[in-house]
């Protein structure tokens, strides 16, 4: 077995120390005069002043908060820091922006008053959201606590000895602490307080992460020894000056988290309308650029035009842009995966009515295909989305073939580079090899979410066929789920979903949730998988990211994908069609009916290739061939029998290699030491020892004779379903 790991194209790993790639331009400023966000640094269109830049973390896809975001923040902050603190800190009279950042689950920076006040994070162990204040957020929270005359919560008060150490970034130690609140738990983000020597008034000078519970703090102070909290952030003079200028309306009428979403969203939209006005010139430049792209692409391609609509905000933005150029002279394609939320299906019909384009809407549904697929493939993974091809792309091909009889169509898509690395790398106009009749064009590729939301919420939509001025504007439906906490739409059980999304689904669509999780529970029981596999969404991965691997390791569980009946005949299912990734490589995905017997499989694998490596920690065998007799390819095989095969060339003989792989799997499962392979090997590279077939790597020339002459190879060929 080769010990040198060849890195296949499309699977390059980030080197240690490399920063995560920026998926788009991170550009956010804040007008301090109008207290509004600005999307560039030229000037505010209301007051004509420039704003200060906000250091948003990658990927920088800033979006506005809606009702569910506000109420979630209120509940978290109130629970942690006192009743009324949340709504005073993030009132509906102020714009709150959300910026997604990296994390195990949903993790977002929260921006208010031009400052990143903290991080909203879904804690998967607690199955609930928590708010982690930044320095400015801590200062604001303490000011509000005092103003509302609330009892101390999550507070540690320093003595005069502890202040200088804390302001130098040192941890909060027992000798420097005067007192603390009794509600602190290990891991809590605490407000580190200090009294002003002259005024005797307390102020928040740091944010600390508690190392122990309050009960243990008492023993530490008694012994004058121990670390109470790690210093997460501490006060700087510039921060102090900014905090002084921020005022909070303590007399406002609090709505409370049980208020109607419509009432809260109405107030939020009033503030966002001001942001639209403040960014009007910038938005018009972005719109003009996208319209120019659409017109030029239509002129250059000279094909029928359609918009692929999904019911989501991105495709809605593209639909309205194409509408500005063509009016009703294009088709709307909707590929119903059979896993759409009912509100999405309703929105698709509503949009067609709003634009008076019912006759131009073409819908193709996959119906219940997915539920048949998972009986063979098991649940899809983030790195194993066999379903996308069969449920969505195939439907688009059916639509195009039905309407245009095999002619190519120019289809505008709502893809944005902030969504993924693949979309960042993709071209603005391209052809996906899996949908060869679709020429895809992406007019909002460089738009961030805030730009898009201001456009679809407030940009007027003209009715080109109306001669009556008062009736010249159309009302456009937006899927209401966005305002109720659903940050992404699409397939409701998509493995790209966070656990927070799935928890929300349980409340908003209990029947859909129950159907999917009943399958997962049955699958886990059938394959003897631990309950954590379902509980923590481990089904969403074939190969864990480093972050998730660390989490799984911390659970101290064993995940072995056992076949229900290893004596049953081997079968293989291949996801229909090819997919093409950002590096323009081609791939197919498949799954054998049996999990691998890894030791035996590794014993037979050298007959297929010597260019492989067994990653025991992740349960993956990686094959990377650059032999002259075949085009380069890479193959990942997972212990549950799933695999992904990639080649740079579409004409690569995927069938032959899959056939040989099936033969190798079959040999490893059923070999009865008949010695046929020993007899046919011309290199004397195979021998039988202690009832097991052994392949000598240095003698094997990979002629495949031992694979194709094995009695079980013919059975393996019957397993192919390509």
Alpha helix ranges (H) inside 161-235? 162-167, 214-223
pLDDT value at 471 more than 70: no
Range 55-76 average pLDDT: 93
pLDDT value at 563 more than 80: no
Is 270 among the domain residues? no
Statement to judge: residues 327 and 431 lie in one domain: yes
Range 378-407 average pLDDT: 82
Statement to judge: residues 290 and 364 lie in one domain: yes
Single residue among 422, 455, 484 that ends a domain in this structure: 484
Q: How far is CA 244 from CA 163, 192, 239, 494, 721, in A?
A: 20, 18, 9, 46, 69
d(CA 97, CA 76): 17
Q: What is the pLDDT of residues 147-166, one digit of tens each?
A: 999 999 999 999 999 999 99
pLDDT value at 4 more than 90: no
Statement to judge: residues 545 and 579 lie in one domain: no
Single residue among 484, 512, 542 that ends a domain in this structure: 484
Give residue 610's pLDDT.
86
**24: DSSP letter:** S
For residue 400, report the phi and psi dihedrals to the nearest 5 degrees. -65, -45
Statement to judge: residues 511 and 628 lie in one domain: no
Is 297 among the domain residues? yes
Contacts for 522 with CB less than 8 Å, ≥ 6 apart = none
What is the extent of the structural domain holding 367?
A: 280-484
Which of the four pLDDT bands, split at 50, 70 and 90, describes residue 201?
Answer: confident
CA-closest candidate to residue 91, choices 124, 113, 76, 58: 113
Q: How many CB atoms lie within 10 A of CB 445?
A: 21
pLDDT value at 9 more than 50: no
End-to-end, the C-alpha distance of the chain in Å comes to 30
Which of the four pLDDT bands, split at 50, 70 and 90, describes residue 615?
Answer: confident
Rank 22-36, 513-527, 626-640 by mean pLDDT and report only the highest: 513-527
pLDDT value at 651 more than 80: no
Burial zone of 653 (CB within 10 Å; 0-12 exposed, 13-18 middle, 19+ buried): middle
Statement to judge: residues 480 and 504 lie in one domain: no
Statement to judge: residues 508 and 480 lie in one domain: no
Q: How many CB atoms lie within 10 A of CB 317?
A: 24
Between 31-45, 172-186, 637-651, the lowest mean confidence (pLDDT) is in: 637-651
Statement to judge: residues 637 and 605 lie in one domain: yes
pLDDT more than 90, % of the chain: 54
Range 45-72 average pLDDT: 93
Task: Concatenate the DSSP letters of all residues of 262-305 into one string.
Answer: HHHHHHHHHHHHHHHHHTHHHHHHHHHHHHHHHHHHHHHH-S-E
Contacts for 309 with CB less than 8 Å, ≥ 6 apart = 315, 316, 319, 332, 333, 334, 348, 351
CA-closest candidate to residue 162, choices 192, 139, 141, 140: 192
Statement to judge: residues 220 and 338 lie in one domain: no
Give residue 467's pLDDT.
61
CB 166 within 8 A of CB 190: no
For residue 25, report the phi and psi dihedrals to the nearest 5 degrees. -70, 125
Torsion sign (Cα): 51, 55, 58, 63: negative
pLDDT value at 614 more than 60: yes
d(CA 105, CA 120): 11
Which of the four pLDDT bands, split at 50, 70 and 90, describes residue 5?
Answer: very low
pLDDT averaged over every residue in the chain? 85
Single residue among 428, 454, 484 that ends a domain in this structure: 484
Statement to judge: residues 477 and 348 lie in one domain: yes
d(CA 151, CA 689): 76
Domain of 701, CATH number, reads 3.30.310.10
Which of the four pLDDT bands, split at 50, 70 and 90, describes residue 220?
Answer: very high
Rank 195-204, 528-537, 643-652 by mean pLDDT and report only the highest: 528-537
Which of the four pLDDT bands, split at 50, 70 and 90, describes residue 49?
Answer: very high
Q: What is the pLDDT of residues 329-368, one digit of tens each?
A: 999 999 999 999 999 999 999 999 999 999 999 999 989 8
pLDDT value at 381 more than 90: no
**Total domains present in the chain:** 4
Domain of 421, CATH number, reads 3.40.50.620
CB 223 within 8 A of CB 175: no
Is 331 among the domain residues? yes
pLDDT more than 70, % of the chain: 86
Q: Which tokens is 91 given? A: 């009132």
d(CA 444, CA 291): 10
Is 588 among the domain residues? yes
Is 80 among the domain residues? no
Domain of 241, CATH number, reads 2.30.130.10
Which strand (E) or helix (H) includes residue 138? helix 135-147
Q: How far is CA 378 from CA 454, 539, 559, 582, 590, in A?
A: 40, 9, 15, 26, 11
Q: Is 482 helix (H, G, I), strand (E, B) or coil?
A: helix
Q: Which residue has the higher pLDDT, 618 or 686?
A: 686
Give residue 10's pLDDT.
30
Is 663 among the domain residues? yes
Which of the four pLDDT bands, split at 50, 70 and 90, describes residue 722?
Answer: very low
Is 23 among the domain residues? no
Q: How many CB atoms lie within 10 A of CB 329?
A: 12
Is 24 among the domain residues? no
Statement to judge: residues 361 and 464 lie in one domain: yes
Statement to judge: residues 441 and 543 lie in one domain: no
d(CA 220, CA 218): 5
Which of the four pLDDT bands, split at 50, 70 and 90, describes residue 7?
Answer: very low
Give residue 522's pLDDT.
95
d(CA 681, CA 454): 69
Between 89-98, 243-252, 310-319, 674-683, the lowest mean confidence (pLDDT) is in: 243-252
Q: What is the pLDDT of residues 616-643, one digit of tens each?
A: 878 899 987 754 445 678 899 998 889 9
Task: Concatenate the DSSP letters of all residues of 495-535 into one string.
Answer: TTS-HHHHHHHHHH-HHHHHHHHHHHHHHHHHTT--THHHH
pLDDT value at 130 more than 90: yes
Range 471-496 average pLDDT: 88
d(CA 323, CA 13): 41
Statement to judge: residues 329 and 463 lie in one domain: yes
pLDDT value at 3 more than 50: no
């Amino acid at each position: 077995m080769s010990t040198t790991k060849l890195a296949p194209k499309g699977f390059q790993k980030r080197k240690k120390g490399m920063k995560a790639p920026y998926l788009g331009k991170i550009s956010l400023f804040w007008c301090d005069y109008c207290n509004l966000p600005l999307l560039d640094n030229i000037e505010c269109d209301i007051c004509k002043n420039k704003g200060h830049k906000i250091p948003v973390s990658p990927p920088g896809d800033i979006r506005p908060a809606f009702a569910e975001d506000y109420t979630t923040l209120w509940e978290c902050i109130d629970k942690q820091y006192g009743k009324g603190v949340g709504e005073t800190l993030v009132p509906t009279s102020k714009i709150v922006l959300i910026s997604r950042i990296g994390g195990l689950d949903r993790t977002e920076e929260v921006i208010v008053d031009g400052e990143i006040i903290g991080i909203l994070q879904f804690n998967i162990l607690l199955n609930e959201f928590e708010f982690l204040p930044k320095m400015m957020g801590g200062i604001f929270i303490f000011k509000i606590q005092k103003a509302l005359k609330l009892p101390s919560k999550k507070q540690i008060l320093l003595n005069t000895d502890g202040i200088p150490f804390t302001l130098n970034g040192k941890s909060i130690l027992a000798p420097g602490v005067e007192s603390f609140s009794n509600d602190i738990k290990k891991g809590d983000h605490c407000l580190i307080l200090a009294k002003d020597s002259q005024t005797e008034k307390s102020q928040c000078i740091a944010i600390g992460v508690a190392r122990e519970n309050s009960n243990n703090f008492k023993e530490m102070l008694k012994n004058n020894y121990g670390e109470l909290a790690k210093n997460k952030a501490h006060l700087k003079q510039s921060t102090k000056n900014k905090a002084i200028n921020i005022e909070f309306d303590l007399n406002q009428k609090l709505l409370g988290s049980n208020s109607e979403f419509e009432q809260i969203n109405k107030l939020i939209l009033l503030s966002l309308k001001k942001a639209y006005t403040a960014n009007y010139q910038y938005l018009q430049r972005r719109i003009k650029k996208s319209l120019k792209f659409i017109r030029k692409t239509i002129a250059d391609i000279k094909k029928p035009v359609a918009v692929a609509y999904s019911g989501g905000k991105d495709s809605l933005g593209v639909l309205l842009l194409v509408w500005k150029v063509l009016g009703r002279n294009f088709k709307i394609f909707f590929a119903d995966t059979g896993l759409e939320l009912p509100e999405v299906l309703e929105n698709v019909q509503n949009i067609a009515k709003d634009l008076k384009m019912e006759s131009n809407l073409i819908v193709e549904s996959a119906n219940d295909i997915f539920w048949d697929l998972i009986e063979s493939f098991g649940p899809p993974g983030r790195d194993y989305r066999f379903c996308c091809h069969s449920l969505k792309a195939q439907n688009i091909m059916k639509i195009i073939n039905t309407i245009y009889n095999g002619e190519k169509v120019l289809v505008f898509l709502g893809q944005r580079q902030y969504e993924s690395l693949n979309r960042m790398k993709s071209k603005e106009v391209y052809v996906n090899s899996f949908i060869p009749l679709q020429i895809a064009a992406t007019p909002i590729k460089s738009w961030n979410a805030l730009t898009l939301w201001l456009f679809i919420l407030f940009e007027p939509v003209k009715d080109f066929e109306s001669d009556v001025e008062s009736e010249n504007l159309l009302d456009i439906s937006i899927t209401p789920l966005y305002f109720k906490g659903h940050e992404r739409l699409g397939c409701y059980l998509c493995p790209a979903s966070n656990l927070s999304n799935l928890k929300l689904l349980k409340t908003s669509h209990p029947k859909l949730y129950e159907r999917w999780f009943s399958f997962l529970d049955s699958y886990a029981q059938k394959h003897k998988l631990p309950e954590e596999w379902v509980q923590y969404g481990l089904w969403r991965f074939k190969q864990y990211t480093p972050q998730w691997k660390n989490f799984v390791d911390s659970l101290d569980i064993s995940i072995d994908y056992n076949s229900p009946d290893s004596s049953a005949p081997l079968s293989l299912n291949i996801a229909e069609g090819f997919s093409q990734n950002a590096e323009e490589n081609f791939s197919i995905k498949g799954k054998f009916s049996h999990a691998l017997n890894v030791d035996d499989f590794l014993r037979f694998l050298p007959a297929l290739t010597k260019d492989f490596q067994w990653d025991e920690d992740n349960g993956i065998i990686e094959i990377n061939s650059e032999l002259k007799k075949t085009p380069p390819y890479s193959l990942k095989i997972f212990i549950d029998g799933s695999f992904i095969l990639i080649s740079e060339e579409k004409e690569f003989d995927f069938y032959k290699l899959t056939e040989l792989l099936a033969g190798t799997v079959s040999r490893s499962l059923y070999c009865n030491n008949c010695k046929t392979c020993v007899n046919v090997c011309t290199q004397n590279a195979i021998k039988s020892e202690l009832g097991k077939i052994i392949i000598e790597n240095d003698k094997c020339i990979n002629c495949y004779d031992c694979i194709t002459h094995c009695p079980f190879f013919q059975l393996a060929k019957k397993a192919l379903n390509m």
